[in-house]
A and B are shown apart, each in its own frame.
Chain A
Amino acid sequence: MQWTDKYRPQSFKDIIGNNKQKALIEKWVNEWKEGNPQKTLLLVGPPGIGKTTFALVIAHEFGEYVELNASDKRSYDLLMETIGESTTTQSLFSNKSKLIILDEVDGITGNQDKGGTRALNKIIQNTKHPIIMMANDFYSKRLATIKTKCQVIKLPKIRSPTINVNLKRICKAEEIEADPEALKQLAKRSNGDMRSAINTLQALSEESKTLNMEDLENVTQKTDRSTIINATSRVLKSKNITHIRDDMIIDEDPTLLMEYIAENIPREYENPKEIKKAYENISKADLYFGRTQSSRNYGYWRYATLFMGLGVALSKRETYKKFSKIVSPQSFSKMGKYRGKRNLRDNIADKMVENMHVSREIAYSMFPYFEIMFQDDKTAYEISSFLELEDDEIKRFRKKKIPKKFIDKMEKERAQRMQERQAEWAEEYKKDLNLNNSDEITDNYFEEDSNELDSIDSFSDEDIDEILQENLDITDSINEDKSESIIDEASESKVDESSDLKDSNIEEDNKEDSDSKKEKSVQTSLFSFE
């Protein structure tokens, strides 16, 4: 039997400490008993200070009670169903009030407890019965509306001398030979949490019937939560199932804890067989984290935690008697260290993604080939200008810069080619234009267009839609011709002087992507209408 239950105070006079609060609560109970309904009682305070004890003592006074705690679902419907009913009706056969206990009301949360707070508010307002609620965090948002309607009693942490007295009493009852100094330490370390102090005492001395300072060394100080370093070192240093389990309860992402443990396995364990076995457990843990993600079943976490905790711990034959510092996962610091190089890599990959219809992963896989291809000046030049790589990005694939002379030569050649091609295109366009005589059409069209726009007010919405659609169709065809004529003009004027590289680039775009140019113009016309 748990000592926390065995030695739980049964009446007000058994409760030690908190005299002021005790008086208030006793008064509240007596008022109810005399038939004066009181506000709901809200007990607030950290864990292990006797909130539940108070509630049970009060329940004892009333006789009949209903209790709901965090393990029960507490949605609006459910709360109204189970408590809502009983709060507004009274038992037919007795006048006695029925006590309602709601534990951990600040934990009413999430989807499953939907509307829980709303239901609580309603119940508090309509109640004909005494209600006690307990919560840890006075400032919790969920209490904001509730606490104004309650009589709030704050219970502070229990002072360590008080805990010490209680521990001594239990030791006496259990016939445990305890070192007074050890008890004092235990009381101090429990950080005002009576429940944890009693639990620790039971864990350490129930079998041996003794308690001394050495026993305490196996217990880490009870902080609010164990740290990730603490958990890691516990897994690597201990083989004790309860210690490992307790210390692995931390406020961190469990996969981060896994990284910590994995990082430190070869730093602590020396025997290769142990490393092998420990890492196999890490691998299994990781597998279940993966399955958690893909199935959204967080129940798998429990297995993952066991593999990476107990599994790793039991992989060693014996605990090592050495001090090894717990190191943070190096792959994370490596990522930081290589950030510059990785950014460079990713920038190149992104340019490949954009121009080559590949994903980053595939882009990376092509890097080794680029390293070979880039040794050749011509290929390096062609690929880097295709992807528009910067100098430092080119350096990723080849040590030397592409020789300036070579670039100049290639660019001259390209300008030359471009000029020739431009001349050809210009020739073709001229032919086309002469055939279509498109200038006239364009002029006429714009006059008509403005007339239509003037009279547009008198149309209904549907009409406008129709007209717009028609206009669109016309502009499509017109703009094609127009864009061609623009290109034609541009190319004609620049044919002679295109030694300038920038111009030739633009022109090249004009030429080669005349298709996409057409499309662009269609798009612009669309937007202007919208």
Chain B
Amino acid sequence: MEGPWVEKYRPQTLDEVVGQEHIVKRLKKYTNEQSMPNLMFSGPAGVGKTTTALALAKSVLGEYWKNNFLELNASDARGIDTVRNQIKNFCKLKPMGAPFRIIFLDEVDNMTKDAQHALRREMEMYTKTSSFILSCNYPSKIIDPIQSRCAIFRFAPIKKEDITTRLEYICNEENFGYTDEGISTIVYFTEGDMRKSVNILQSAATEGEEVTEDAVYDVISKSKPQDINNMVTAALSGDFMKARDLLRETMILQGTSGEDMVVQIYQDVTKRATEGRMDSNVYINLVEYIAETDFRIREGANPRIQLEALLAKFL
């Protein structure tokens, strides 16, 4: 069955992986080896960390890769108990039909420090039978002992040409027409994020016969919650209670993360300033607050409280 294009066109082999040639080149060396060091893939969203990990597992583990591969992502419970039980039990078993086993932990930076410390033990206990692939957005959130046990690969945002080529390839496979402007608008907007690019492409494709610039802009504006705009307007006009309610509704109902909210507020304010609807001095002041909020959220504060405080700055 065919899923959304992001899944349907997920590269299955290392050779297919797009835009990370230098990393793929080094990873290929582990094929046909009897062991592999622990790896850490760091980098922003949508640049191929998970895809590369899956492709690597397939090529290294061979036919029975599914039996020797354990994937745990941020939504699975990954407290100390998981590390102590599930991961340990998996590591203990002998690999079947493959030289070793691979544990892929996605978004390790969302694991608690305690769980990371528990993980560190497992990483050195079972080096003979198992290798770990960890992925994260910010290596700084990973405790040093784990970083020092891994070969770290930094995934850069995917180059514009590479995304363009991939999007064109998908359009051809799907028999969809496109204009160069349409594709380049997507590429410009997504800043090296392949997942977002493919999602916008598919959304634009369902809108009409052809992926055009207009269709893409339409998708981009539709896919942004209107609530953000209303929220910023309410805060700027002094109605703090309304702004705060809208914020909570968006975060609780849509599940939008704090980081995304910050970016969207930033984009909204920037749009107002560039269109001349906001004074530049006000704008630069607000950006300072937004930046500080962004920083505080990443430092581990409660995103909703921080965003409420940010809205208060708009008054």
Contact = CB atoms under 8 A, between A and B. Distances in A.
Interface stretch (A147-155, A206-214, A361-369): A361-369
Contact of A372 (B96, B110, B219, B306): B219
Nearest to B104: A357
Contacts of A526: 96
Nearest to B199: A369
Interface stretch (A5-13, A36-44, A169-177, A331-339): A331-339
Majority SS of interface residues in chain B? helix
B302 A289 contact: yes
Interface stretch (A65-73, A272-280, A454-462): A272-280
Contact of B206 (A350, A356, A376): A376
B308 A279 contact: yes
Contact of B304 (A331, A358, A373): A331
Interface in A484-530: 508, 515-516, 518-519, 522-523, 526
Interface stretch (A80-88, A193-201, A377-385): A377-385
B127 interface: no
B253 A342 contact: yes
A306 interface: no
A266 B244 contact: yes
A357 B46 CA distance: 12
Nearest to A509: B1
A128 interface: no
A523 B73 contact: no
B302 A360 contact: no
A296 interface: yes
A364 B254 contact: yes
Interface in A260-280: 262, 266, 272-273, 275-276, 278-280
A353 B75 contact: yes
A13 to B, nearest CB: 57
Contacts of A296: 113
Interface in A210-256: 255
A412 B67 CA distance: 34
B43 to A, nearest CB: 14
A368 B252 CA distance: 15
B39 interface: no
A291 interface: yes
Nearest to A293: B300
A334 B203 contact: no
Interface in B201-247: 202-203, 206-207, 219, 222-225, 238, 240-241, 244-245
A482 to B, nearest CB: 16
Interface string B295-315: 010011110111011001101
Interface in A417-446: none
B305 A338 contact: no
Contact of B301 (A273, A283, A353): A283
B305 A283 contact: yes
Interface of A, secondary structure class, is helix
A258 interface: yes
B302 A286 contact: yes
Contacts of A382: 1-3
B107 interface: yes
Contact of B309 (A280, A364, A371): A280
A104 interface: no
Contacts of A293: 300
Contacts of A286: 296, 301-302, 305-306, 309
A496 to B, nearest CB: 23
B301 A386 contact: no
A357 B225 CA distance: 25
Contact of A345 (B219, B245, B255, B309): B255
Contacts of B300: 290-291, 293-294
A522 B96 contact: yes
A356 B6 contact: yes
Nearest to A472: B96
A96 interface: no
Contacts of A394: none
How many of chain A's residues touch chain B, expressed as a range? 35 or more
B249 interface: yes
B195 A362 contact: yes
B176 to A, nearest CB: 12
B141 to A, nearest CB: 9
Nearest to A280: B309
A113 interface: no
Given A280-B312, A523-B67, A357 B306 contact: no
Nearest to A378: B206
B257 A361 contact: yes
A387 interface: yes
Interface string B86-104: 0000000000110000000
B95 to A, nearest CB: 12
Contacts of B42: none
B45 interface: yes
Residue of B107, B199, B302 with most chain A CB atoms under a 10 A cut-off: B302
Nearest to A367: B254
Given A338-B252, A364-B255, A519-B66, A383 B315 contact: no
A361 B74 contact: yes
A287 interface: yes
Contact of A383 (B4, B195, B200, B305): B4
B299 A360 contact: no
B305 A342 contact: no
A359 B7 contact: no
B12 to A, nearest CB: 12
A276 B313 contact: yes
Given A293-B300, A294-B300, A386-B3, A368 B223 contact: yes
Contacts of B256: 364-365
Given A258-B305, A375-B206, A516-B66, 17 more contacts: A266-B240, A272-B240, A282-B305, A283-B305, A283-B306, A286-B305, A290-B299, A335-B252, A338-B252, A342-B252, A353-B75, A356-B4, A383-B3, A383-B4, A385-B1, A508-B1, A523-B67
13 contacts: A279-B309, A286-B305, A286-B309, A331-B252, A353-B73, A356-B4, A357-B71, A361-B74, A368-B223, A372-B219, A373-B206, A522-B96, A522-B97
Interface of A: 255, 258-259, 262, 266, 272-273, 275-276, 278-280, 282-283, 286-287, 289-291, 293-294, 296, 330-331, 334-335, 338, 341-342, 345-346, 349-350, 353, 355-373, 375-376, 379, 382-383, 385-387, 476, 508, 515-516, 518-519, 522-523, 526
Closest 8 CB pairs of A and B: A283-B309, A290-B300, A279-B312, A368-B223, A376-B206, A272-B315, A386-B3, A290-B301
